């Protein structure tokens, strides 16, 4: 009798384990649904938009704002097409990705911005990683040279912008362009690029953060003395506020720097930032932050405090990476999963055919400039796809999804 009972229990356990394994390899229903939607939206977007004029966001009048090659967001749409190909296996998306990537060839002449990482690594970088086609390399090589030229040994940072009244402005977003420099340093045998990326990250660690590990948006340096002239915001609510996407760029930037350098200071900084974000008392229950953590009463025209899906997607990427690098990282993997489930719900994920073929709804560009409020944004889509890829790797879900 006892023996028979043991056999039944053993059989039951085996059945459960096979079911769990099957679920892990197939992906949960929400994950499958989101991959199907992504495939549909990207296929239609590729057929609708023109290479070289990539979809960026939706204007209040319902028209689509497009991005020429000089726009900081121009690499995200081709990058999403590449990720769409990896997630779905649809070869038409790879063909479209190639068309939309090659149309950005003139970025090789752009020198007046730090955004070359966003512009080139997301487009040409993914193209080269996925295809191994060396014809993508010359543009990547020139772009990296131009990014490196913006580094000053005096300030110890890469200059972000050439506009405005600042003398040597550096924004927290700049942390995201370092991954490109690390990669280019190894690829083109330029160790000075890696050194510059490390120095930028260390200087930013010293000057951009408050005691609670929230970050300022802009730090302006004196290019002659290298000293900090001021700390302020450009896209946040106020100079002392915690602009949500800025916190996200910092988190993901530092874990990327750790991945590329192995410097434990960068891992520690990413952990501090993650702690600030995930324990913030104003983080909503669905884990999609309002566009600035300090918003109490800055409302849009309809009296709402809009959420920023782009910040959430970047936070999910950072937390998924961080979760694999630290003891107790499961809590951050679980938090990222909550974000991804929210973004994959009808509240944020478009219905196929809607949303001008963007994938996510509800992001914020620059609230106080009345620019891109509660709109789809191409970088929300890009980092959502990047996070889904990381999630699949973590959960051992086989891609492309069949
Ligand atoms: N890098 C510009 C932004 O995050 O809006």
- 189-211 pLDDT per residue, tens: 999 999 999 999 999 999 999 99
pLDDT value for 383 = 99
* Catalytic residue selected from 115, 220, 321, 374: 115
* Structural domain spans, the chain: 36-394
CA of 361 to the centre of ligand 1 (A): 17
Q: Token pair for residue 116?
A: 């070359």
CA of 22 to the centre of ligand 1 (A): 40
pLDDT value for 50 = 98
Q: Residue 372: CB within 6 Å of ligand 1?
A: no
In this structure, the dihedral spanned by the alpha carbons of residues 171, 173, 178 and 179, taken in order and rounded to 10 degrees, is 180
Residues 92 and 43: beta-carbon distance below 8 Å? yes
- 276-324 pLDDT per residue, tens: 999 999 999 999 999 999 997 778 778 889 999 999 999 999 999 999 9
pLDDT value for 300 = 78
Strand 54-58 to 157-158 pairing: unpaired
Q: Residue 71: CB within 6 Å of ligand 1?
A: no
CA 115 to ligand 1: nearest atom: 1
Q: Please state the rounded mean pLDDT for residues 136-156.
A: 98
Interaxial angle between packed helices 137-148 and 178-187, expressed in degrees from 0 to 180 and rounded to the nearest 10: 120
Alpha carbon 17 to its chain centroid, in Å, reads: 34
- Rounded Cα gap, residues 43 and 240, in angstroms: 42
Alpha-helical runs (H) found in 149-263? 178-187, 191-207, 244-261
CA of 309 to the centre of ligand 1 (A): 13
CA 310 to ligand 1: nearest atom: 4
- Rounded Cα gap, residues 402 and 394, in angstroms: 18
pLDDT value for 304 = 82
CA 365 to ligand 1: nearest atom: 5
pLDDT value for 303 = 80
Please, which pLDDT band fits residue 274 given cuts at 50, 70 and 90? very high
Strand 151-152 to 157-158 pairing: antiparallel
pLDDT value for 302 = 80
105 is catalytic: no
Q: Token pair for residue 75?
A: 């690499």
- 6-58 pLDDT per residue, tens: 555 555 444 444 344 444 445 699 999 999 999 999 999 999 999 999 999 99
Burial class from Cβ neighbours inside 10 Å (0-12, 13-18, 19+) for residue 29 reads exposed
Residues 83 and 389: beta-carbon distance below 8 Å? yes
CA of 173 to the centre of ligand 1 (A): 6
Ligand 1 pocket mutation, candidates 56, 313, 365, 373, criterion most atoms within 8 A of CB: 365
Residues 231 and 219: beta-carbon distance below 8 Å? yes
Cβ neighbours around 40 below 10 Å, total: 18
- 72-87 pLDDT per residue, tens: 999 999 999 999 999 9
Ligand 1 atom 2: residue of nearest CA: 173
pLDDT value for 260 = 98
Structural Rg of the chain based on CA atoms:
22
Q: What DSSP string runs through 194-226?
A: HHHHHHHHHHHHHHSB-TTS-B-SEEEE-TTT-
Q: Please state the rounded mean pLDDT for residues 83-94.
A: 98
Residues 329 and 335: beta-carbon distance below 8 Å? no
- 361-391 pLDDT per residue, tens: 999 999 999 999 999 999 999 999 999 999 9
Ligand 1 atom 1: residue of nearest CA: 173
Of 176, 270, 171, 294, the residue nearest 230 (C-alpha): 171
Ligand 1 atom 5: residue of nearest CA: 365
Topology given in CATH for the domain delimited by 36-394: Glycosyltransferase (1.50.10)
pLDDT value for 396 = 96
pLDDT value for 17 = 43
- 209-255 pLDDT per residue, tens: 999 999 999 999 999 999 999 999 999 999 999 999 999 999 999 99
pLDDT value for 18 = 38
pLDDT value for 296 = 77
pLDDT value for 9 = 53
- Rounded Cα gap, residues 276 and 265, in angstroms: 17
CA of 26 to the centre of ligand 1 (A): 35
> Which helix or strand (DSSP H or E) is residue 343 part of?
helix 330-343
Residues 202 and 258: beta-carbon distance below 8 Å? no
- Rounded Cα gap, residues 368 and 72, in angstroms: 19
Alpha carbon 199 to its chain centroid, in Å, reads: 22
Chain mean pLDDT for the chain: 94
Residues 150 and 223: beta-carbon distance below 8 Å? no
- Contacts by residues 189-194 (CB-CB < 8 Å, ≥ 24 positions apart): 190/144, 190/148, 192/148, 193/144, 193/148, 194/260, 194/261
Q: Please state the rounded mean pLDDT for residues 162-170.
A: 98
pLDDT value for 299 = 82
- Kindly state the percentage of the chain with pLDDT values over 90: 91
Using CA atoms, how far residue 131 sits from 52, 109, 176, in Å, is 21, 24, 23
Residues 312 and 343: beta-carbon distance below 8 Å? yes
pLDDT value for 227 = 98
173 is catalytic: yes
Q: Please state the rounded mean pLDDT for residues 322-327.
A: 98
């Amino acid at each position: 009798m006892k023996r028979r009972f043991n056999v039944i229990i053993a059989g039951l356990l085996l059945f459960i384990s096979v079911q769990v394994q099957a679920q892990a390899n197939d992906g949960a229903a929400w994950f499958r649904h989101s991959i199907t939607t992504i495939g549909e939206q990207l296929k239609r977007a590729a057929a609708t938009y023109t290479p070289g004029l990539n979809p960026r966001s939706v204007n209040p009048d319902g028209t689509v704002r497009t991005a020429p090659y000089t726009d900081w967001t121009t690499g995200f749409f081709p990058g999403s097409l590449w990720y769409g190909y990896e997630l779905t296996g649809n070869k038409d998306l790879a063909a479209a990705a190639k068309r939309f990537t090659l149309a950005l060839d003139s970025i090789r002449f752009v020198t007046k911005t730090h955004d070359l990482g966003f512009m080139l690594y997301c487009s040409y970088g993914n193209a080269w990683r996925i295809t191994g086609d060396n014809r993508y390399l010359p543009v990547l090589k020139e772009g990296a040279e131009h990014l490196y030229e913006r580094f000053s040994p005096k300030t110890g940072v890469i200059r972000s912008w050439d506009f405005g009244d600042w003398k040597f402005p550096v924004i927290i977003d700049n942390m995201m362009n370092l991954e490109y420099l690390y990669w280019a340093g190894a690829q083109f045998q330029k160790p000075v690029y890696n050194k510059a990326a490390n120095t930028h990250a260390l200087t930013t660690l010293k000057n951009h953060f408050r005691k609670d590990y929230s970050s300022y948006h802009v730090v302006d340096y004196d290019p002659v003395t290298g000293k900090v002239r001021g700390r302020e915001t450009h896209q946040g609510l106020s100079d002392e506020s915690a602009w949500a996407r800025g916190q996200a760029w910092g988190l993901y930037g530092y874990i990327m720097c750790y991945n590329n350098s192995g410097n434990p200071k960068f891992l520690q900084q990413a952990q501090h930032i993650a702690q600030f974000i995930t324990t913030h008392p104003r983080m909503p229950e669905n884990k999609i932050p309002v566009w600035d953590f300090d918003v109490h009463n800055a409302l849009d025209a309809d009296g709402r405090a809009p959420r920023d899906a782009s910040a959430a997607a970047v936070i999910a990427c950072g937390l998924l990476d961080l979760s694999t690098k630290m003891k107790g990282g499961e809590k951050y993997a679980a938090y990222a999963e909550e974000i991804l489930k929210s973004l994959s719900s009808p509240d944020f994920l478009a219905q196929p055919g809607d949303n001008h073929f963007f994938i996510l709804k509800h992001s914020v560009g620059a609230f106080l400039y009345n620019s891109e409020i509660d709109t789809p944004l191409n970088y929300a889509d890009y980092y959502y796809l990047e996070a889904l890829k990381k999630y699949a790797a973590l959960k051992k879900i086989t891609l492309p999804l069949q």
